[in-house]
């Protein structure tokens, strides 16, 4: 059960995920969270650095789909200028939204990674579906009410996994 919360990989931010490394592993698509994974939860649009990251992924044939628990207005405002497909009100960690993203990309779960900043939504959801998961450090130190609760739970889970030798990265 605890292994469902364990990401396959941990990186500082999405910029440590390169198309070259993904392609070497046979990855053709990324399902990514939006808030505190790509940008701060209160930033309405992408940074120039992030726009370049999306461009590199596209140039290498890596599809990106945003899957967010946030409302349509928020996700659409961010995604539309970048011409990125998205799923809003995803209800992660339920698998349905991840399956929708896979179907929209026309990819198998072995060809996709899930990227996110939360164990209880992104990692758990991706792992439940059997997709390779990458946990990133949240880009902002502030969170909404529900996320604050999740972070407290995550700290406990991570501390337990660290004590058991299941993880070896720094927070």
**DSSP string across the chain:** -GGGG--SEEESSGGG--HHHHHHTT--EEEE--BTTTB-TT--S--HHHHHHHHHHHHTT-EEEEE-SS-HHHHHHHHGGGT--EE-S--TTSHHHHHHHHHHHT--GGGEEEEES-IIIIIHHHHHHT-EEEEE--S-S---HHHHHHHHHHHHHHHHHHHTTS-----
User: For residue 146, is pLDDT > 70?
Assistant: no
Report percent pLDDT > 90 for the chain: 76
Q: Which residue has the higher pLDDT, 150 or 5?
A: 5
Confidence of residue 150 (pLDDT cuts 50, 70, 90): confident
User: For residue 2, is pLDDT > 80?
Assistant: no
Q: Which CATH architecture has domain 2-163?
A: 3-Layer(aba) Sandwich (3.40)
What per-residue confidence (pLDDT) applies to 166?
79
Domain residue spans of the chain? 2-163
**DSSP string across 16-32:** G--HHHHHHTT--EEEE
User: For residue 79, is pLDDT > 80?
Assistant: yes
Mean pLDDT across 67-95: 96
What per-residue confidence (pLDDT) applies to 6?
92
User: For residue 11, is pLDDT > 60?
Assistant: yes
Write out pLDDT tens, residues 15-26: 999 999 999 999
User: For residue 123, is pLDDT > 60?
Assistant: yes
- Residue 50 to residue 48: CA distance in whole angstroms: 5
The model scores a pTM over 0.75: yes
* Residue-level length of the chain: 171
The Cα angle at residue 143 between residues 140 and 170, in degrees rounded to 5: 55
Write out pLDDT tens, residues 36-69: 999 998 899 999 999 999 999 999 999 999 999 9
């Amino acid at each position: 059960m605890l292994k469902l919360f364990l990401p396959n990989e941990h990186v500082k931010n999405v910029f440590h995920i390169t198309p070259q490394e993904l392609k070497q592993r046979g990855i053709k698509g990324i399902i990514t969270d939006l808030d505190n994974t790509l940008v701060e939860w209160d930033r309405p649009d992408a940074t120039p650095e992030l726009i370049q990251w999306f461009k590199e992924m596209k140039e290498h044939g890596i599809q990106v789909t945003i899957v967010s628990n946030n409302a349509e207005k928020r996700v659409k405002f961010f995604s539309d200028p970048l011409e990125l497909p998205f799923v809003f009100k995803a209800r992660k960690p339920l698998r349905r939204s991840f399956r929708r993203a896979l179907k929209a990309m026309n990819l198998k779960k072995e060809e996709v990674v899930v990227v996110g900043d939360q164990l209880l939504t992104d990692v758990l959801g991706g792992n439940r579906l059997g997709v390779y998961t990458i946990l990133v450090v949240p880009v902002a130190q502030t969170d909404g009410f529900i996320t604050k609760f999740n972070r407290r739970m995550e700290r406990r889970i991570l501390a337990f996994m660290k004590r058991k030798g299941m993880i070896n990265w720094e927070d």
